[in-house]
Amino acid sequence: MGSSLETSRRVDPDFAVAFAARAGAGGAIPFAAFVELALYHPVVGYYRRRQTRVGYGAGTDFFTATTSGPVFGELVCAACVKLLRGRNPAEHRFVEIGAEPGAGIVQGVAHPFASAHSIGIGEPIELTGPCIVFSNELFDARPFRRFRFRSGAWRELGVRLREDSLEEIELPLAPASGPPAPYLPAETAEGYVIDAPEEAADLAASIARQAWSGLFVACDYGKSWQEIVEALPFGTARAYFRHSQGNDLLTRPGQQDLTCHVCWDWLADALTRHGFEAPQIERQESFFIHHAEAYLSGAIAADAAQFTRRKQSLFQLLHGAHLGQKFQVLHALR
C-alpha cells in the first residue's frame, strides 16, 4: 500500500467505524475521500456537528468576514448592485450558498433584491431565473486531492486506518500508468506537495451550468495555478482548531476544520465555459473599495467623529493585515 509518511494518529471509535466502512477491505482511502468523511459524514463530520464553529466565543475554531456583523452584508449588497451593470436588482433573488445555519449575510440587512435566502451545506442547489449567487468561504471547504513528487514521479496520497490510528500513505501506482492527474507538471522539486482542489472547480461548474442569469460572487482565499505549482512546496492544506492553524491534517478527525486554497484559474474557467463574461478576481479590500465606494463614503462620513462598531468592522474587512488581502473575490456576470 505504500510507506507511512507521518506518525500515526489515534481516532475516536465512532470515526474509526465510519472510516472502516468507507475504506472496506483495503483499509485505506484517497485523501479527498478522507476530507469528505472528516468534514461531511452525516454522523462524525465536522460540518454536521451541532456546534458553533465561527466567531470569537469559546469552542469556536475560526472567524470569517461574517463575524464582522451586518457591515459585511451591507457592503456585499452595495457591491452587487453596482456589478449588475444597470440590471434591476429588484428583479433578482439573492441566493447565498453554504451559510452557517441562521447566519446568512443579508439576514436583518435592508436590501434591494426581490428576495433573499440561504442554501445550507448539503442542501440541493437549484437555481433559475435572475439571481445573485453569493458564497463566503464555500469553495475552500471542499475535499481536495493531495500529491507528492518523489523519485521523479507524482504519488497520490491517501490515509490508512491501522487499529485505532490514522497515517498518511502513498497510494499504489497502477502498472504502466502515467501521472495520477493530467494537470500535474512533468517535473518539480523532490518532495513538492500539491493540494488540488478539484471538487471546488466541480462545484463552481455545477452552479454555473444551471439555467439562471445574473451575478456570481465568491469570497474565498486561493492562488493561481502557477503559484500552486511553483511557489508553495508544502501545499496549501491547513487545519483549524480553536483559532489555531496547524499542518497536521489527521489529528482530531471530525473535530477540526480542514481547508485548502482554491485555484482561481479553475473556478474562473468553469464560469467562462458556461457563458459568464470575463470573470475577475480582486483582493477583498480592492473589491469593496471599487464596487461599494458610495456605501464606504457614507459610512466614513457618518462615523468620522467617533470610533463605532461599524468603523471597527470596516477596518477588519478592508485592512491588509486583517481580511482585506487574505481573502479574494471572484465575480462574473451572465
Each residue of 74-92: pLDDT tens digit?
999 999 999 999 999 999 9
pLDDT tier at 178, thresholds 50, 70, 90:
confident
**Rounded Cα gap, residues 279 and 272, in angstroms:** 7
Count, residues in the chain: 334
Closest C-alpha to 139, from 281, 11, 28? 281
Which cell goes with 136?
463566503
Which cell goes with 15?
470515526
Evaluate if residue 323 carries a pLDDT over 50: no
In the chain, what are the helix, strand and coil shares in percent, each to the nearest 5? 30, 25, 40
Give percent above pLDDT 70 in the chain. 85
- Mean pLDDT computed over every residue of the chain: 87
Q: What b-and-e string marks burial along 148-167, b requiring 16 or more CB atoms within 10 Å of the CB?
A: bbeeeebbbbbbbbeeeebb
DSSP symbols for 246-309:
ES-TTSSTTTSEEE--EEHHHHHHHHHHTT-EEEEEEEHHHHHHHHSHHHHHHHHHHTTTS--H
Each residue of 131-154: pLDDT tens digit?
999 999 999 999 999 999 999 999
**Rounded Cα gap, residues 32 and 142, in angstroms:** 9
Interior angle at CA 179, CA 271 and CA 2, nearest 5: 120
Lowest mean pLDDT among 27-31, 45-49, 99-103, 118-122: 99-103
Evaluate if residue 233 carries a pLDDT over 90: yes
Each residue of 268-277: pLDDT tens digit?
999 999 999 9
pLDDT tier at 313, thresholds 50, 70, 90:
confident
The pLDDT, as a whole number, for residue 320 is 53
Which cell goes with 304?
468620522
